[in-house]
Structure 1
Amino acid sequence: MKTQVAIIGAGPAGLMLGHLLRAQGIEVVIVERATADYVLGRIRAGVLERTTTDLMDQLGLSARMHAEGLLHDGFNLADGERLIRIDIGALTGRPVMVYGQTEITRDLMDAAPDRGLEIIYEASDVALHDVETDAPYLTYNRDGVAHRIDAQFLCGCDGYHGASRLAIPESAAKAYEKIYPFGWLGILADVPPCNHELIYANHERGFALASMRSEKRSRYYIQVPSDEAVERWSDDRLWDELAIRLGPEAAAHMTRGPALEKSIAPLRSFVFERMRHGRLMLAGDSAHIVPPTGAKGLNLAMSDVHYLSQSLIAWFTRRDADAVANYSNKALARVWKAERFSWQLTKLMHRFPDDDSFDRRMQIAELDYIANSIAAQTAIAENYVGLPL
């Protein structure tokens, strides 16, 4: 099989990139190792920046998002005694949209056939070849049969554990990584949220987050040690801990219910420089990971896709080699700013094992400063809603 662009990974980044390229008449094939049902079963982010919603609008695929999504003009930081509201609407003129990553993926999947976007699911043993030449290709197996796709560009959107990043030699790139000594224990339940906006809580027992997927489905998290076992946490124990950490105001409005899903996600910061090697381009989690604090993961992938689609469109419409060459630097400039914000908010809101009483007092002082400083709130707000592209 031959195509102009072969994309590895049919998550939201790969699907969005495929749609943007097809909208310009570029030939695209997406290869995904899992089934479509498995991809849709991934429960991830739920807060969308304007960058992401604008891309859905651009593609004409945003009707359900605007009908079912929740526009938020603010969010809250809790310090154990009060809620500190960050009025992002007033401070930046922009809201965020609460609409689950699963729903974005579903919308992009459902539109693929009518828009001529071919997706090959259950492709195992994906390998990338000759990425440093003008004729790269990938191979995979499906139903016991070996396949090959020749393309002008390969785009790796297959996540942290995918094959794409591994195709770049260590001598050609550098990885930066920070592993956090805790994870997030999350519960998803069909109950109304305890607040109409998100609450990020700093408590002496550890971090907690009250979030939602809709007006009837809530997502909550608490900080736990990195070696914690989810089996140790019954639903009742988790709800009790959330009530303590989120504080009395949130607890008074919390509705408890059985878990639809309960799991522990590790936290890490990771950046792979560079995001282009020859005719291979990386986007999303294959190139970087951010802690979920600050809701940057999906949105950062979407900004990558924005830059990458522009670069490839420039190549195919006017053979602009500079646009392709500049993709990595342009994307990484925004990646590092998002990494900084996610790291800063993680450091502010979590309890680290080696923190002493001085570190704790610094967190309290910083939160008090934020509560009383419009300048500090503005800096947080403009990062939260997403820096300009």
Structure 2
Amino acid sequence: MTAAEDRLREDVEALCRIVRSSAGEGERRAAAWVAGQLRDAGLRPVVQPYRSPRGYALAHALHDAAGLAAIGRGGLLGAALTLAVLRSYERETSGRDQWVRRVLPSGEGVNVVVRIPGTGAVRRTLVLVAHLDAAPTGWVWRPAFANAGAGLARRTRRMSPVMGALTGAFLAGAAGSAVERAAPRAGRALRTGALATIGVGLAGLVSVARGATVPGASDNATGVAVLLGLARALAAAPPVDVDVVLVLPGGEEAGMGGMRAFADGPVLAAALAAGPVTVVGVDTLGGGTPIVAAAEGAMRTHRFDPEAVALVQAGARAAGEDPPGRWRIGAWTDPILTQHRGIPSTTLLSVGDRGHYTEYHLPTDTPDRVDWECVERCARIVAGVVVAASG
């Protein structure tokens, strides 16, 4: 094992000793520790505070409650209201328009951002992103639920949307409301099933709201540690023909609040003014097999830019690694916010043998459960992406 690989494990273990709840004291402690590591490497990180709800449960629960009321109302008006709520819900989960969050209680989180200028004829900026925070657990993340359909996902490289059943319930509720006058029995059956499914979803949100924050070794101490290792290497040997910006945002698990603050901030604006920008997320690397997100979505599919996906695969080849397969993943990652703004983006992740994230949002997401060989492969791929971006 090399000194860099030893340091990778030490960094993950150090982060796991901090309870990194989104937009809270633990996230701020983790940010301070990361900023200190970057300063020790001779870099000058910027600490960017932001405000955001500390979880997604309340915003989601409000949409569930509105959906229950609309389906309970029934009729054509109820159907229209149900579809309107569903549209708002999807835009909330995908980050397109999180208007509900503007009126919810918020906590204070911190991003850490550092720019490493390139030498030579700089032609583009590469933004690498790894979120600092860790998720709360809940019964919805038990393997019996979370791993359903994982074998099929492995074969098709398509994860089911984590909120697919809920999306179906809203659509069924709207359909039942619309047809209940012409077909009362069918309408009632559809509405009853929808109400039951949404009710179960609400119970799941309660479990998440009350759940303890997990250690978050794979998700996402591994991503942070990989970027710290890259930062130390680039501080000693700056990138050629490309500027590199490392972003370690908070709040991803709560709905990407930290990444939104970065996307609205001056560092990204300056990079866009200077030339082309590509954003690559580094998330949940301890699963066993590296993958690259070609699309994602908790409720519906949002595609990443093929240019960014190809850059990650080119980075793997530059590092002597097999190019990661292109997957449709089932939830959200921070780079979807920049993709929504038309900036080529994607995320490098990993999956286990069954085609699912290992120990996902569980108390067992600890350093001893991490596939370190996979993390090291991902670290080489990320370093290769820097090389490929300079070409």
Q: Could you state the TM-score of these two structures normalised by the residue count of structure 2? A: 0.25
Q: Which has the higher contact order (CA 8 A, sep 6+)?
A: 2
More strand by share: 1
TM-score normalised by length of structure 1: 0.25
